[in-house]
Amino acid sequence: MEDIGGTAKLCDWCGRIWDEGGAVGLVLDSSAVHARDPSKDGKRLVIGCSAAHLAALQEEYRQRPFIDEELWAWQIARALITAPQDTTLDQLADTTGLRAAEIQQAMSWHRTQGQPDSHQPDDGAR
């Protein structure tokens, strides 16, 4: 946890805007994929207006399942943004660093989303 004084921030827990103090931390999140830096994939920066709100955020994310297939699906989506239309599975594997089996698992996971009993993202209700 680190003090993030300076300009106004928005608390990820309560939505309050504040100018001074607050706390920032990283949480594991399989839906978080960095736009350009794959080493940051699976980690989300969260900001709390207080240590208590940061702790609440960290606990909330600890309770969420980390789904490898979800992370892989987002990594594939990022790669496909700049990939040619005719990208092969092998090329996609080279670009993402995933194995063909992981790509297939991610595609299968993606197809199940929106179906009954599938993992659904947090709706924000507390």
Enter the pTM of the model.
0.78
How do 9-10 and 43-48 pair as beta strands? unpaired
Per-residue model confidence as pLDDT tens digits over 15-55: 999 878 889 999 999 999 999 999 999 999 999 999 999 99
74/34 Cα distance (integer angstroms): 9
* Angle subtended at Cα 79 by Cα 76 and Cα 88, rounded to the nearest 5 degrees: 80
Per-residue model confidence as pLDDT tens digits over 58-87: 999 999 999 999 999 999 999 999 999 999
Q: Compute the average pLDDT of residues 103-123.
A: 73
Listed in sequence order, the residues at least 6 apart from 122 whose beta carbon sits closer than 8 Å to its beta carbon are 60, 64
Neighbour-count burial of 79, counting CB atoms closer than 10 A to its CB (0-12 exposed, 13-18 middle, 19+ buried)? buried
Angle, to 10 degrees, between the axis of helix 68-82 and the axis of helix 100-112? 100
